[in-house]
Copies of this chain bind each other. A is one copy, B any other.
Amino acid sequence: MPDITLVEVGPRDGLQNEKGVVATDIKLALIRRLADAGFSRIEATAFVSPKWVPQMADHAAVMAGVPRRAGLIYSVLAPNEKGAAAAIAAGADEIAVFTAASESFARKNTNCSIAESLERFLPVMALARQAGIPVRGYVSCVLDCPYEGAIPAQAVAEVAARLDELGCVEISLGDTIGRGTPEATAAMVEAVAARVPVGRLAGHFHDTAGRALANVAAAHALGVTVFDGSVGGLGGCPYAPGAAGNVATEALVGFFEGQGLSTGIDLARLAETGRWVRAELGRAGG
């Protein structure tokens, strides 16, 4: 068991936020390379309507083709009952649901209030329970919202506590626009950890302002040991102004290994995968 668990979200969160649609065989090659690099958790695809997210339209083909290995968990985003049922039928090992700590962001992004988004999760939770698979809850805008500005830590704690009550085994706290500071991260994690055991929290940081690793350090100092990353920073170049900016998983590996903390990831293979997928995106005009 490595000291730090890294959840690779490039195939879903990353590719969904890149321009252009990536071919299924490229996605499968990407996932195979990530499995070879040592990940135990990979977010593979999303069961959402192709009308809204054409990048993930091949979700069933992706799940049919992923390499199955002992101890390797494929998480799949599913926003509602229909998506969850399809994800489970396709062999997802884990379902991920998605809400926000900001009302404005929830309305713009999921077209409903935070409370309504939580209600939509009820049938998803029930299906997952029947199938015997865990559900991961994402909370976005845990530090700042593009519409509301700074988000109070207590608002995040409230949403996280509700996801916990609903039965999410892990709650991933996302600094969606990457404006957070280490100080704000610490205050937010403390507030959430007062409601949900810290061992069930994950950190999901964006490097838009170059502070992802400083925020990761702040969360780690408070006991968070699970972090999301995107190979090669897929989902936006982390160093271009205004970019989406998932923190590159490679940077997380180096950051933790530099403190003597194991991640179980082979960085050479991971970095090679990052170079390869970026070249593929370039070829695809993405």
User: Which residues of A line the B interface, CB within 8 A?
Assistant: 182, 209-211, 213-214, 217-218, 221, 232-233, 238-239, 248-255, 257-260, 262, 266-268, 270-271, 274-275, 278
Question: How many Å lie between the Cα of A210 and that of B215 in the bound state?
Answer: 9
Residue of B nearest to A272 (CB): B257
**Which of B258, B268, B271, B278 meets A232, CB within 8 Å?**
B258
Contact A217 B213 (CB under 8 A): no
Q: Is the interface of A mostly helix, strand, loop or mixed?
A: helix
Contact B248 A258 (CB under 8 A): yes
Residue of B nearest to A248 (CB): B258
Contact A274 B258 (CB under 8 A): yes
Question: How many Å lie between the Cα of A209 and that of B258 in the bound state?
Answer: 16
Given contacts A251-B258, A253-B267, A257-B271, 13 further A-B contacts (CB under 8 A): A209-B214, A210-B214, A213-B213, A214-B214, A232-B258, A232-B260, A233-B258, A238-B259, A254-B254, A254-B255, A260-B274, A260-B278, A267-B268
Question: How many Å lie between the Cα of A257 and that of B248 in the bound state?
Answer: 9
A selection of 19 A-B contacts at a CB cut-off of 8 Å is: A210-B211, A213-B213, A232-B258, A232-B260, A233-B259, A238-B259, A249-B258, A250-B254, A250-B258, A251-B251, A251-B254, A254-B255, A255-B255, A257-B270, A257-B271, A257-B274, A260-B271, A260-B274, A260-B278
Q: Residues of B contacting A278 with CB < 8 Å?
A: 260
Residue of B nearest to A214 (CB): B210
Q: Residues of B contacting A260 with CB < 8 Å?
A: 232, 271, 274-275, 278
Question: Could you tell me the distance in whole angstroms from the C-beta of A118 to the nearest C-beta in chain B?
Answer: 34
Q: Residues of B contacting A232 with CB < 8 Å?
A: 258-260
Question: How many Å lie between the Cα of A278 and that of B257 in the bound state?
Answer: 12
Q: Residues of B contacting A271 with CB < 8 Å?
A: 257-258, 260, 262
Question: Could you tell me the distance in whole angstroms from the C-beta of A212 to the nearest C-beta in chain B?
Answer: 9
Question: How many Å lie between the Cα of A254 and that of B6 in the bound state?
Answer: 14
Question: How many Å lie between the Cα of A269 and that of B262 in the bound state?
Answer: 12
Question: How many Å lie between the Cα of A258 and that of B251 in the bound state?
Answer: 6
Q: Residues of B contacting A209 with CB < 8 Å?
A: 214
Q: Residues of B contacting A248 with CB < 8 Å?
A: 254-255, 258-259
Question: How many Å lie between the Cα of A209 and that of B259 in the bound state?
Answer: 16
Residue of B nearest to A267 (CB): B267
Contact B274 A254 (CB under 8 A): no
